[in-house]
Amino acid sequence: MSLNDSIADMLTRIRNASLAKHANVVIPHSRLKESIVSVLSNEGFIRSYEVSGDSFRKALVVTLKYTEDREPIFSELARVSKPGRRLYIPHQKLKPIKQGAGMYVLSTPKGVMKDEDARKLGLGGEILCQVS
Protein backbone atom coordinates (compact mmCIF):
# COMPACT_ATOMS: atom_id res chain seq x y z
CA MET A 1 0.00 0.00 0.00
CA SER A 2 1.43 3.35 -1.03
CA LEU A 3 0.69 6.41 1.07
CA ASN A 4 1.16 9.85 -0.38
CA ASP A 5 0.35 11.76 2.80
CA SER A 6 1.28 9.88 5.94
CA ILE A 7 0.22 12.73 8.25
CA ALA A 8 -3.29 12.78 6.77
CA ASP A 9 -3.40 8.99 7.18
CA MET A 10 -2.41 9.34 10.86
CA LEU A 11 -5.05 12.00 11.52
CA THR A 12 -7.71 9.89 9.78
CA ARG A 13 -6.79 6.83 11.86
CA ILE A 14 -7.08 8.85 15.09
CA ARG A 15 -10.36 10.47 13.99
CA ASN A 16 -11.92 7.15 12.91
CA ALA A 17 -10.80 5.33 16.07
CA SER A 18 -12.23 8.08 18.28
CA LEU A 19 -15.57 8.02 16.44
CA ALA A 20 -15.67 4.23 16.83
CA LYS A 21 -14.85 4.71 20.56
CA HIS A 22 -11.68 2.59 20.47
CA ALA A 23 -9.29 2.79 23.41
CA ASN A 24 -6.09 2.69 21.30
CA VAL A 25 -5.01 3.14 17.72
CA VAL A 26 -1.78 1.85 16.14
CA ILE A 27 -0.02 4.08 13.60
CA PRO A 28 3.20 3.42 11.63
CA HIS A 29 6.02 5.41 13.24
CA SER A 30 7.95 8.40 11.97
CA ARG A 31 9.67 11.17 13.91
CA LEU A 32 7.32 13.82 12.49
CA LYS A 33 4.22 11.83 13.46
CA GLU A 34 5.68 11.26 16.93
CA SER A 35 6.25 15.02 17.29
CA ILE A 36 2.66 15.79 16.27
CA VAL A 37 1.25 13.17 18.66
CA SER A 38 3.48 14.58 21.41
CA VAL A 39 1.96 18.04 20.93
CA LEU A 40 -1.56 16.56 20.98
CA SER A 41 -0.72 14.67 24.18
CA ASN A 42 0.77 17.74 25.90
CA GLU A 43 -2.36 19.75 25.08
CA GLY A 44 -4.76 17.08 26.38
CA PHE A 45 -6.37 16.02 23.11
CA ILE A 46 -5.14 12.43 23.56
CA ARG A 47 -4.39 10.56 26.79
CA SER A 48 -0.92 9.20 25.97
CA TYR A 49 1.24 7.53 23.36
CA GLU A 50 4.16 5.12 23.24
CA VAL A 51 6.57 3.85 20.61
CA SER A 52 6.58 0.07 20.26
CA GLY A 53 8.38 -2.41 18.04
CA ASP A 54 11.97 -2.79 16.89
CA SER A 55 14.00 -0.40 14.77
CA PHE A 56 12.57 -1.73 11.49
CA ARG A 57 8.88 -1.93 12.39
CA LYS A 58 8.23 0.81 14.91
CA ALA A 59 4.67 1.86 15.62
CA LEU A 60 2.97 4.58 17.64
CA VAL A 61 0.32 3.26 20.02
CA VAL A 62 -1.96 6.22 20.78
CA THR A 63 -4.35 5.99 23.74
CA LEU A 64 -7.41 8.12 23.04
CA LYS A 65 -9.14 10.41 25.52
CA TYR A 66 -12.91 10.81 25.96
CA THR A 67 -15.33 12.87 28.06
CA GLU A 68 -17.52 11.30 30.77
CA ASP A 69 -20.24 10.82 28.10
CA ARG A 70 -17.74 8.79 26.01
CA GLU A 71 -17.44 11.53 23.38
CA PRO A 72 -14.05 12.41 21.82
CA ILE A 73 -12.22 15.39 23.36
CA PHE A 74 -11.71 17.01 19.94
CA SER A 75 -14.50 17.83 17.50
CA GLU A 76 -12.24 18.50 14.52
CA LEU A 77 -8.88 17.03 13.53
CA ALA A 78 -7.96 18.13 10.01
CA ARG A 79 -4.91 18.35 7.77
CA VAL A 80 -4.27 21.93 6.62
CA SER A 81 -1.06 21.93 4.57
CA LYS A 82 -1.14 19.16 1.97
CA PRO A 83 1.55 17.76 -0.33
CA GLY A 84 -0.09 19.42 -3.34
CA ARG A 85 -0.53 22.77 -1.61
CA ARG A 86 1.79 23.65 1.25
CA LEU A 87 0.57 26.39 3.56
CA TYR A 88 3.13 28.53 5.37
CA ILE A 89 2.24 31.36 7.71
CA PRO A 90 4.30 34.06 9.46
CA HIS A 91 3.92 34.44 13.22
CA GLN A 92 2.13 37.81 12.82
CA LYS A 93 -0.81 36.11 11.09
CA LEU A 94 -1.26 33.30 13.63
CA LYS A 95 -4.60 33.95 15.33
CA PRO A 96 -6.34 31.87 18.02
CA ILE A 97 -8.79 29.25 16.73
CA LYS A 98 -12.32 29.20 18.23
CA GLN A 99 -11.43 31.75 20.93
CA GLY A 100 -8.49 29.64 22.08
CA ALA A 101 -10.38 26.32 22.26
CA GLY A 102 -8.46 24.95 19.26
CA MET A 103 -4.94 25.08 17.94
CA TYR A 104 -2.75 24.69 14.90
CA VAL A 105 0.21 22.32 14.94
CA LEU A 106 3.11 23.93 13.07
CA SER A 107 6.43 22.72 11.75
CA THR A 108 8.89 25.53 12.52
CA PRO A 109 12.68 25.86 12.27
CA LYS A 110 12.78 25.05 16.03
CA GLY A 111 10.64 21.89 15.68
CA VAL A 112 6.98 20.94 15.78
CA MET A 113 4.91 23.07 18.16
CA LYS A 114 1.48 24.55 18.75
CA ASP A 115 0.57 27.97 17.36
CA GLU A 116 0.66 29.73 20.74
CA ASP A 117 4.28 28.70 21.36
CA ALA A 118 5.27 29.75 17.83
CA ARG A 119 3.68 33.20 18.39
CA LYS A 120 5.59 33.62 21.66
CA LEU A 121 8.89 32.67 20.00
CA GLY A 122 8.18 34.81 16.92
CA LEU A 123 8.32 31.82 14.58
CA GLY A 124 6.25 31.07 11.52
CA GLY A 125 6.11 27.80 9.68
CA GLU A 126 4.08 25.20 7.86
CA ILE A 127 0.62 24.55 9.34
CA LEU A 128 0.44 20.76 9.58
CA CYS A 129 -3.00 20.31 11.13
CA GLN A 130 -5.83 21.99 13.02
CA VAL A 131 -7.36 20.58 16.21
CA SER A 132 -10.44 21.92 17.97
Q: Provide mean pLDDT across the span 16-32.
A: 97
pLDDT at 21 over 80: yes
One-letter amino acid at 108 equals: T
Q: Would you place residue 46 in the very low, low, confident or very high pLDDT band (cuts 50, 70, 90)?
A: very high
pLDDT at 2 over 70: no
pLDDT at 100 over 80: no
Q: Provide mean pLDDT across the span 89-108.
A: 92
Q: Which CATH number fits domain 6-64: 3.30.1370.30, 3.30.499.10, 3.30.70.3420, 2.60.40.10?
A: 3.30.1370.30
Look at residues 57, 8, 53 and name the one whose alpha carbon lies nearest to residue 32: 8
**Residue range(s) in the chain whose domain bears CATH number 3.30.1490.10:** 77-131
Residue 82, pLDDT score: 94
DSSP 8-state assignment for residue 78: E
Non-local (6+) Cβ contacts of 75 within 8 A are 132
**Residue range(s) in the chain whose domain bears CATH number 3.30.1370.30:** 6-64
Look at residues 115, 83, 88 and name the one whose alpha carbon lies nearest to residue 100: 115
pLDDT tens readout for residues 27-45: 999 999 999 999 999 999 9
Q: Specify the CATH number of the domain 77-131.
A: 3.30.1490.10
